[in-house]
């Protein structure tokens, strides 16, 4: 499943450089994750890097984008071909 950033985001920018898919961008008023690019770091890392670096602990599972690991890996591979 893709991830999303809640309204508790402080816009610190820590998550942007660690995303291997460039899925995170500044939004108004908080950062946003593009669910079509988010693979929860499947294919690149063992766990979502944005969650590891987020000081506000505001990155959660996206309720509308539930995908299994095989789908996330295929998405990652398509993004990086």
The secondary structure element, H or E, covering residue 12 is none
| Residue 1, pLDDT score | 79
Tell me which residue range forms the domain holding 69.
3-79
Backbone Cα Rg of the chain:
12
Domain tally, the chain: 1
pLDDT tens string, the chain, 81 residues long: the values are 799 999 999 999 999 999 999 999 999 999 999 999 999 999 999 999 999 999 999 999 999 989 999 999 999 999 999
CATH number, domain of 62, equals: 3.30.70.20
| Residue 11, pLDDT score | 96
Q: How many helices (H) and strands (E) does the chain have?
A: 2, 4
- Tell me the pTM: 0.92
């Amino acid at each position: 499943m893709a991830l999303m950033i809640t309204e508790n985001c402080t816009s610190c920018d820590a998550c942007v450089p660690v995303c291997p898919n460039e899925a995170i961008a500044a939004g108004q008023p908080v950062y946003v994750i593009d669910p079509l690019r988010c693979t929860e770091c499947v294919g690149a890392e063992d766990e979502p890097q944005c969650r590891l670096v987020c000081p506000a602990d505001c990155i959660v599972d996206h309720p509308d984008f539930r995908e299994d690991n095989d789908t996330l890996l295929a998405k990652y591979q398509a993004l990086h071909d």
